[in-house]
Structures are given as structure tokens and as C-alpha cells.
Amino acid sequence: MLSPQEMSDRLEIQDLFTRYCFAIDDRNWDALDDLFTPDAQIDYTATGGSAGPVAEIKQWLAQALGACGMSQHMVSLPNLSITGDTATSRMILFNPMMMDDGKGGQSTFFCGVWYHDKLVRTAAGWRIAERSQKLAYMHATPNAQGVRSV
């Protein structure tokens, strides 16, 4: 049976993940400062992205997602292991994105990823200290420009 503290921790961490998704899809890059530790290391290279500290990732995200008219980052099934003030998580990301196809229409691609996180409890609540990805798949509609299915 889960203790009240572990139930609270799990809900707080799940809320952290939800706020991450909304920050990305709303293009609210500054909100990431409240989700990651100041020294967090993020690695999005499995999907062709960047790796580095939060400040660098915010710049990369603004550029990389600038071409997307819409994205929906949806995370689910976090497999959490909590030990005191630290935790690890593995969870699924499903991310459809739309962009201009270069011919006046829209193209869509879908990205499936596993996020691997290390989290820490801080005075301000739970924060992501490390995030990496493992690519499951990418699928693009035939008219997608610069995106290939994997």
C-alpha cells in the first residue's frame, strides 16, 4: 500500500509532467525554468534534437518547433520509482505535429518516444534533473518536408 507521502509525490510528479507538455505546446519556454533544476541536463538527440542545459534547450525548442503550427505532447504511464527526495521515471510520449507542407497545405508527423527522467525534490517541489529520450518511431505523411519515417 502506498503511503500518503508517496501518493502525494506521485501526483506532484505527474502534474510536473503535465505542465511540461502544456509549456511545450503553448511555446512557453520560460515555464521550463520551473520544471527543470537550474543545472538539469536534457538530451533530445534520439529524435534528431539537441542536448545540453535548459537555457540551450529552450533556444533549440523555439527554433525546432517554430516550423510546427501545432503539436500535442501527450505523456502517459509513468513508471515511477521514488526513494526519498529522488525519483526515476520512464514514460511514453505520443506527439503529433503539423507543419506547412511547402505547397500551401499541412503535413503531419507522429513521434513516439520513451522519456527517461531523473527527478529531485526541491524546496519549490519536484523538478526534472535529467531527461533523455529513446525513439520508438516517427511516421510522416508523404507530403512532410524534411521529416522521414523511422
- What are 85-143's pLDDT values in tens digits? 999 999 999 999 998 877 888 888 899 999 999 999 999 999 999 999 999 999 988 77
Interior/surface letters 108-123, b for 16+ CB within 10 angstroms, e for the rest: bbebbbbbbbbbebee
CA-wise closest residue to 135 among 93, 97, 81: 93
pLDDT of 27 > 70? The answer is: yes
The whole-number average pLDDT for the span 66-87 is 94
Domains of the chain and CATH, by start: 4-140 (3.10.450.50)
- What are 42-51's pLDDT values in tens digits? 999 999 999 9
This model's pTM is above 0.75: yes
- What are 137-146's pLDDT values in tens digits? 999 887 776 6
